[in-house]
Structure 1
Amino acid sequence: MKLVLKNSDSVVVKKLDIYTRDVPCLDAVWHYHPEFELLYISKSNGIRFVGDSVAPFFPGDLVLVGSYIPHLWRNDPSYYEKSSKKEVKTIVTKFTKDFLGDGFFNKTEFYEISKLLDACKFGLSFGKEISKTLHKDIIDLPKISSTEQHIKLLSILHKLSLVEEKDRVILSSSDMRQTTTESSERIDTVLKYISDNYSKSIALDDISNVACMTTNSFCRFFKKMTNKSFTQFLNEIRIRNASRILVQENIPVSEVCYIVGFNSITNFNKQFKQIMGATPKKFREAI
């Protein structure tokens, strides 16, 4: 498994591709591609990686990913169990900037959409209200004709371009767009291992061995590839998953702490407040 550049070697790149995914682990690898990608989660939950952003996703999650930014959606481990009956439904819309013709979005009339496509180079997540508003339009996309898809996507992008800044979140804190696959196999192996084992104890020696590197080399490598230290990244995955559990399950905070891999309630509370801006108890009460 490796971080891969998708579609770059195709003689003919499809300018608009819309489909429904109904299986877990939306992509097998942390990857990037020249197309823009609009992902709408109708059913399932888990954690997503966009650039250096780590966050849980829920039904209704709507994200626009720009060209060449590494991303990966991973369902919760329970989705991969053989006996699992959990449903997955995601609408994936991939499109090139010229899917309506060369220079189409350079026209004055489409200035706002052009700004939107530029802003999503870091990844954009949209709020619940716009997600609800666009739910039917996006769900219907795979079912309509190609002509209708082009018209409907233009309409969706127009509506997204008008969303106020308070209702959209820039995901990656830095520009992590890729132009090379150097060292990609290592980081993909590491990310997959972390996302599959975050609830267990992962020592620095353990993860360095996964990457086949010394601890010092691994720390430098991981920081360069993700813009975060390994400990910071692991804590974020654990806390983001904890926040999802607090929203979806009626499980005591003290139990959530251990479910996501912390072995100290004090450290859990400290990390949660640092990352989420509130204690687990206050976070749950505010929902």
Structure 2
Amino acid sequence: MKLIRKNTDRFENERLNITMKDIPCLDSSWHYHPQFELLYISQSTGIRFVGDSVSQFSPGDLVLVGPNLPHLWRNDPSYYKEGDESRVKTIVIKFSKDFIGKGTFDNAEFYSIGHMLEESKFGISFGRTISRKFHNDLMEIIDLSPAGQSIMLLNILLQLSLAEEKTVLSSTDMRQYTTDNSQRIDDILKYISDNYSTYISLNDVAEIACMTTNSFCRFFKRMTNKSYTQFLNEVRIRNAARLLVQNEELSVSEIADMVGYTSITNFNRQFKQILNNTPRDFRQLHGSGTLVY
């Protein structure tokens, strides 16, 4: 598996393509494509990678990914177990900038949409209040006529562009235009997302990449804009945040162990550094069923 550029004939010939996914791991590879992608998670949980951003996703997650920005949504390991009945339901809307007409978003009356589409080169996450507002529309858009889909998507984009509850994801422009020297990154991301709860040494991931540790560190930093240790800590802490909220019967130390920390002191330090709260304060703030991403 590798970082790949996805651009099938179907997408080249269609300005708008909408699908519903009901299987784990929406794509097997960290990938990019020339279309915009609006992705809505109705069911399932896991980790998403958008540029150099690493975040936990859960039902209600709504993200806009710009053209050529590497991304991957990967479900929690339990979704891949044989016989597991966990359900996945995701709406994926891929569209070109001219899906409603060439030059439309260059016009002054569509400035807010055009600005949002430009900003999506970093990836944009919309808050739960916004995603709840569009839940029904996003679940029904797949059954509309092509004209109906275009009209509804235009309305959704307009309202999203005016929303205040949104977060830019990637801290840098990581858009890709070639696949040179990037074959290893997908295996690395998959290995980390599947094994973060166990001890993973630098040597372990360097062997997965078939590189020396020094070469691996330079390669990983270039591909993700983060060090390997920083990236691994983010994956672990984002999963810990979900567990703290969804499993209030578990202690903080139990959760620290579940996500791969043998030292509670180190866990607390990394948690506060990444999420600006102690684990206990985070649980009190986001408990009682609140979904965290």
TM-score of the pair, normalised by structure 2: 0.95
Residue of structure 2 in register with 1:234 after alignment? 232
Structure 2 distance, partners of 1:19, 1:146, is 13
Distance 1:124 1:218, change over 3 A: same
Contact 1:198/1:238 (8 A) holds in 2: yes
Return the offset for 1:144.
1.1
SS at match of 1:270: helix
Structure 2 distance, partners of 1:190, 1:90, is 25
SS at match of 2:133: helix
Residue of structure 1 in register with 2:123 after alignment? 123
1:123-146 residue CA offsets vs partner (Å, 9 max, x unmatched): 000011111111111111111111
Contact 1:126/1:169 (8 A) holds in 2: yes
Structure 2 distance, partners of 1:208, 1:243, is 28
Range with bigger deviation, 51-60 or 132-141? 132-141
Residue of structure 2 in register with 1:274 after alignment? 273
Return the offset for 1:193.
0.8
SS at match of 2:184: helix
Return the offset for 1:155.
0.3
1:225-249 residue CA offsets vs partner (Å, 9 max, x unmatched): 1000000000000000101111211
Residue of structure 2 in register with 1:132 after alignment? 132
Residue of structure 1 in register with 2:159 after alignment? 159
Residue of structure 1 in register with 2:289 after alignment? none
Counterparts of residues 192-231 of structure 1 (less than 5 Å): 192-231=190-229
Distance 1:257 1:156, change over 3 A: same
Structure 1 distance, partners of 2:204, 2:44, is 30
5+ unaligned residues in a row in structure 1: which ranges?
none
Return the offset for 1:12.
3.7
Q: For residue 280 of structure 1, what is the amino acid of its counterpart? A: P
Range with bigger deviation, 67-76 or 189-198? 189-198
Residue of structure 1 in register with 2:51 after alignment? 51
5+ unaligned residues in a row in structure 2: which ranges?
287-293
Residue of structure 2 in register with 1:180 after alignment? 178
Structure 2 distance, partners of 1:198, 1:96, is 36
Q: Is the aligned partner of 1:145 residue 2:145? A: yes
Contact 1:8/1:33 (8 A) holds in 2: no
SS at match of 2:63: strand
Residue of structure 1 in register with 2:84 after alignment? 84
SS at match of 1:185: coil
Structure 2 distance, partners of 1:257, 1:177, is 34
Give aligned pairs, total: 285
Report percent identity of matched pairs.
60
What is the root-mean-square deviation in Å for CA atoms of aligned residues?
A: 1.1
SS at match of 1:63: strand
Q: For residue 128 of structure 2, what is the amino acid of its counterpart? A: K
TM-score of the pair, normalised by structure 1: 0.97
Contact 2:121/2:175 (8 A) holds in 1: yes
SS at match of 1:184: coil
Residue of structure 2 in register with 1:260 after alignment? 259
Contact 2:11/2:17 (8 A) holds in 1: no
